[in-house]
Chain A
Amino acid sequence: MRLQRAWYAIRGRAYPRTVGAAREPSWIFYDLALPILGVFAFVFVYRALDAPAQFTSYVIMGGATIAFWMNVMWNMAAQFYWEKHQGNLELYMMAPCGLVPILLGMAWGGMLATTVRAAVVVAVGILLFKAPLAVSSWPLFVLIFTLGLIALYGLGMFFSSLFLLWGREAWHMVSLLQEPVYLVSGFYFPVRALGLWVGMAASIIPITLALDGLRQVMFPSFHPGLLPVRWEVLGLAALAVLFVVLALRMLRFMERLARQEGRLSFRW
């Protein structure tokens, strides 16, 4: 019964995310046109330098990944803060399904909608720039992609409770994290170029390992990987477990604090 209710709640909360894409076409500009503009700039730089064609694919992959990072930061991490101000969070807390399925529904809906957006970025990039795209192992590709998504949305779920406690400062944190992550996670270049230790430090953001792993699977003989793929897969699996566990603990902590201190309901 509880599992069934949890499943219904996940499905229910995912719904606005999935239909939202069709009803609010602004994503075409923010999540598609803007990342593609960034991709354009880097593609032309690499072409001007006579870089191998694989670099175009590199950049397209990075551009597609931006959609996930934006979604995690603005629609996961900052979402509870939004929900609080709309009055939804109280209703979610009062619901017998609990907050976990609601958060999972948010993540699931976000993953589905964003995967479609990222796929469109890749398709547009390949069509426009005739970028070479070859995957050496689809199972490995899917495994890295899936682990990367779980770890990334786990991080988003963790941030959602954390940002709720921080209040308005959360907005600044989202802005603060956006551009530096584009750099240190190697969105437009191999992260190894930053050096092993910077790359390792940046690997706390799951996108770093996921992007590097996917590029290694796509260009096995070309890509200067940060770590061997199997280590990156293990790292992503560890991050996925870590962030999901942290997210669940943080959620419980946030709910307890909210009930004890009235943070959701009152401002004193």
Chain B
Amino acid sequence: MSAAIETQDLVRTFRVRRSKQSPSGAPVVALDGVTLEVQRGEIFGLLGPNGAGKTTLIKILVTLLLPTAGRAVVEGFDVRTQAQQVRERISMVSGGEHSGYGLLTVREQLWMFSQFYGIPTGEALSRIDRLLQVVGLFEERHRKVQQLSTGMRQKMNLVRGLVSDPRVLFFDEPTVGLDVGAARDIRAYIRTWIADRSDRTILLTTHYMSEAEELCDRVAIIHKGKIIACDSPAQLKRATSGGAYFVLNTERLDGADFLRRIPGVSRVDSAERDGHTELRLQLAEDGAIAGVVTALTQQGRRILQLQKVEPTLEDAFVTLVGQRLEEADQEAGGA
């Protein structure tokens, strides 16, 4: 195996105008020394909250943005000086994409994009029809793009990304906003596509931990412009071991702070579900659950369900970043 994507000390800053939000007008550091290597044949995931630098990294790799410092190479070509060669070998599909023209039919739209890659019409239409069949959109090929549902539209975008048969495919949140079925179909096809082509590479960003866990051979966790961990999902989860994880359902709780003060309790996340409170507990060791049960009993709360679970990628993320992805998103949104 050899590297399909390599970055070395990649830095990207943006100038900002002076404003109330940024009175100093100091540059924003979106990427801060990112070094990565993605092997050919891999599905590589980038996980991180909003504003972590995922999209900036993708934009640099697809030649839409220049790095401020450092180097990035895709399929052996420098994104700064050999953008043309890179563009001939890549494609990108973004979640919630509304590219193209609503007046065109699905087939026409895909043909139009194929022309930008120099694919002769006969070959382009044959590829388009084959891909539309695979993603289950063949029956809709003569339907106008403006009449498609969100899920259908994203399947069409997926075909657009694949029609040029790219060496490296970039997905930026490919299943965002899709219903469960459409997201499952897209994930299934991504897996099939790479399985049939061992020399192709996929880099995807996602907000969904389960998606990263299901699809990716390796995952890099990016936070505040830095890669803070990079490994297979299994290894990342193992890195969080040393603790025990429980999911506990109890009668509705007004707050869970009293549980956080119990010795051996490392972290408590609570969520309301159907009138109950679901607690996800990270404990120093199994025995600490006794203290939790006692504390809840003293509060007069019945325990409805208690289950020991394996750590997830989300737990690994929490261990590495210090907060859940949604919390980090809220912090970034409020900043």
Contacts and interface: CB of A to CB of B under 8 A. Distances in A.
Interface of A: 1, 4-5, 8-9, 11-13, 15-16, 19-20, 23-24, 86-88, 90-98, 102, 258-262, 264-266, 268
Interface in B3-41: 14-17, 28
Contacts of B84: 96, 98
Nearest to B96: A87
Given A19-B104, A20-B103, A23-B103, A259 B118 contact: no
Nearest to B89: A96
B112 A1 contact: no
Given A19-B104, A19-B108, A87-B99, A265 B117 contact: no
B98 interface: yes
B249 interface: no
A259 B97 CA distance: 20
Contacts of A268: 14-17, 28
B98 A95 contact: no
Nearest to B80: A259
A262 B116 contact: no
Given A23-B103, A94-B90, 10 more contacts: A1-B118, A12-B111, A23-B144, A87-B94, A88-B99, A96-B87, A259-B66, A261-B14, A265-B64, A265-B65
A120 to B, nearest CB: 20
Nearest to A92: B116
A194 to B, nearest CB: 40
B100 interface: yes
Contacts, number: 105
Nearest to A258: B64
A268 B28 CA distance: 9
B209 interface: no
B87 A95 contact: yes
A8 B118 contact: yes
A1 to B, nearest CB: 7
A93 B14 contact: no
Q: Across the A-B interface, give the 7 residue pairs with the lowest CB-CB distance, nearest first.
A: A12-B115, A5-B118, A95-B116, A8-B115, A96-B87, A96-B88, A12-B112
B277 interface: no
11 contacts: A5-B118, A13-B112, A15-B111, A16-B101, A86-B99, A91-B92, A93-B64, A95-B87, A96-B87, A260-B66, A264-B64
B99 A91 contact: yes
A206 B235 CA distance: 66
B62 interface: yes
B119 interface: yes
A174 to B, nearest CB: 20
A90 B92 CA distance: 10
A136 to B, nearest CB: 41
Interface in B87-132: 87-88, 90-92, 94, 97-101, 103-104, 108, 111-120
The dominant DSSP class at the A interface is helix
B64 A259 contact: yes
Given A87-B94, A268-B17, A262 B112 contact: no
Contacts of B17: 268
B98 A86 contact: yes
A260 B15 CA distance: 11
B324 interface: no
A265 B101 contact: no
Given A12-B111, A87-B94, A96-B84, A259 B65 contact: yes
B237 interface: no
A91 B111 CA distance: 14
A95 B114 CA distance: 10
Nearest to B68: A260
B14 A262 contact: yes
B59 interface: yes
Contacts of B118: 1, 4-5, 8-9, 96-97
A258 B83 CA distance: 14
Nearest to A8: B115
B63 interface: yes
Given A24-B103, A97-B117, A268-B17, A15 B112 contact: yes
Contacts of A16: 101, 103-104, 108, 112
A11 B114 CA distance: 11
Contact of B100 (A5, A88, A96): A88
Contacts of B120: 8
A88 B55 CA distance: 17
Contacts of B59: 262, 265
A265 B66 CA distance: 12
Interface string B151-185: 00000000000000000000000000000000000
